[in-house]
Chains A and B, each alone.
Chain A
Amino acid sequence: GENVEQHPSTLSVQEGDSAVIKCTYSDSASNYFPWYKQELGKRPQLIIDIRSNVGEKKDQRIAVTLNKTAKHFSLHITETQPEDSAVYFCAAFNQAGTALIFGKGTTLSVSS
């Protein structure tokens, strides 16, 4: 089945710096890659997603890049702010193409 690997598990940056989180997936048929942000005790919130027919997508300070050949995708956050501190999860579809399988998460800490 689908396997999603996420790195790093923790990431600490200074306010204003950029943060990059990387994920790899195993199923070459996967065609949709979302990123979720989860604050403590709350539900995951979709922050950005990308489909396999594009290589990059941006939304203000957040961008996602996809390399289908290498089967990896990355989340880029620029000009980080303390409120960006949270756990970030990448995901990809399972083999059946129905449910999302999540990476293990990255705890991002932005210090001011």
Chain B
Amino acid sequence: GAVVSQHPSRVICKSGTSVKIECRSLDFQATTMFWYRQFPKQSLMLMATSNEGSKATYEQGVEKDKFLINHASLTLSTLTVTSAHPEDSSFYICSARGPTGLLGYTFGSGTRLTVV
């Protein structure tokens, strides 16, 4: 149980375009999901907390107008990287808290974004 699916796994886009990444909880409802960014050989940096039915909470230094988060249902959160630039190239990974009673957070498989 507690499976999180993330798509796409890899995407290459041109500078200036937008990319949408989807994160789905497959067998449980996730009122809260989290988006992280991981640069090569670095740690996972929390970008924002996605709350179902309300606005996302962004971490300091993360541009909310550039990284649009939508959490329209209990099983789906999306991250849209708008006007992407090469420096946005990274591994983006979502996570969700498991079903009620479980503290463990489950991660999606991640999205490797390359902006050319």
Contact = CB atoms under 8 A, between A and B. Distances in A.
Q: Do A and B bind each other?
A: yes
Interface in B99-115: 103-110, 112
A51 interface: yes
Given A42-B109, A43-B93, A98-B49, A49 B44 contact: no
Interface in B67-116: 93, 95, 103-110, 112
Identify the interface centre among A34, A43, A101, A102: most chain B CB within 10 Å of its CB. Answer: A43
Contacts of B105: 34, 46, 100
A11 B93 CA distance: 25
Contacts of B34: 99-100
A56 to B, nearest CB: 17
Interface residues of B, number: 20
B19 interface: no
Given A89-B44, A104-B42, A104-B43, A98 B32 contact: yes
B46 interface: yes
A101 B46 CA distance: 7
Contacts of B112: 41
Given A43-B108, A98-B32, A51 B103 contact: yes
Contacts of B110: 41-43
Interface of A: 32, 34, 41-46, 49, 51, 89, 94, 98-105
